[in-house]
Amino acid sequence: MLSAAVAVVPAAAVPAPSPALGVPVAYAPGDVTDRADQVRDEQWQLDKLNAKAAWRTSTGRGVVVAVIDSGVDGSHPDLVGQVLPGLDLVSPSGATEPDPVGHGTTVAGLIAGRNDDRQGVVGLAPDARILPVRVLDEENRYDDALIVAQGVRWAVDNGAQVINLSLGGSGDSAALAAAIDYAFARDVVVVACTGNLATSPDAKVWYPAREPGVIAVSGLERNSDNLWSGAITGRATILTAPASGLVGARPPSGYWRVQGTSFAAPLVAATAALIRARYPQLSAGDVVNRLLVTAKDIGPTGRDDRFGYGLVDPVAALTVDVPLVHDNPLDDNDSPGVTGFGPAPGSVPVNDPGAEQLGLTGPQQETQWRARAAGAQDDTATERLWVGSAILVALLTGAALMVRRFRQSHR
């Protein structure tokens, strides 16, 4: 029963081993960058993606990117003025901190960190705006896929033109699939990470990255075209982007070193924002197609299972002449779920005749869709060990009692 639960984790950084307690999961101990100017100098991904050349054509101005994550701290110096009023689905009455974990703030900074000085983190689309939707709690986890699905739909209804999902897991969700279809129907580009090997039960590309129509992003090692050693990849992989040796914004005003496909996905989301600002008349399908056909082919010639179409190329995506296709080339146009879903499981009576129509009576794997921070202890493994030990003890005790009774009956 325990193994039936679907583990879902945000693809956060894998921390260096440390005896310290209470260290944030995306923090490498002793590896903090104290000076904001040093942070700017270490943002190698901007050189890799030729950001300065891309900014001569577009900076993402006027485009709204939804970050569905652990929240976003809009008071961070690199994000002041960049973050729109958002939604907190974890603490609707208001949390003490806008982003208790820091994961979402890092993602937001990689997308739209300010570029008005030489200090701190600058995003790849520095004039885009961030729409934060909090679905992960103080432990960077959430157990309900419908919460994420509701976050996607809310983001669409509140002006998102690009959605970034730096989270996922091994199990599918009909409700989340339906929400993503809702986004496609309303001309929104959806980007998700492929996942991290360190926090996955298998090497399968995570969901929702493998949902048809979603741009599934895997990651590269620092300053190379080699796949990052911790990245999950496979047939569903669409694009790659830098994923290791990155420096990100850390609430409330600091920085930390991070790695993971969580931080590759926002670089693709930012590129989509650049395109949408440069070509506001393009459909979401044409934005996706432009990203695919202009990617830098790395690895085997053509699309492959490791790098997908290749490394995202912002400059080419903004400048190459690409014929219109109108439709999303990744979407199979198959509607897998119900778009009209309501509150989360538990808030509707089990015998409510309308619950099934709203998609609230899904399989146990969906309603137990579990989110955990990458690099954290796998609690389910510990639980399985204790359950197994208890069963073994019970079996041995029962056998001993049977032997004892057998001997007594033959005296």
Which residues, 6+ apart, have CB-to-CB distance to 53 below 8 Å? Answer: 315
| Whether 10 contacts 204, CB under 8 Å | no
Pick the catalytic residue from 262, 286, 313, 331: 262
- C-alpha distance from residue 58 to each of 205, 278, 281 (Å): 31, 6, 15
Pick the catalytic residue from 69, 127, 144, 331: 69
> Is 103 marked active-site?
yes
The residue type found at 198 is A
CA proximity to 34, closest of 225, 197, 232, 255 = 255
Question: C-alpha dihedral over 238, 300, 245, 43, to 10 degrees?
Answer: -80
Pick the catalytic residue from 58, 70, 99, 103: 103
CA proximity to 313, closest of 245, 367, 241 = 241
> Is 76 marked active-site?
no
Q: Is 57 exposed, middle or buried (0-12, 13-18, 19+ CB in 10 A)?
A: middle
Catalytic residue numbers? 69, 103, 262
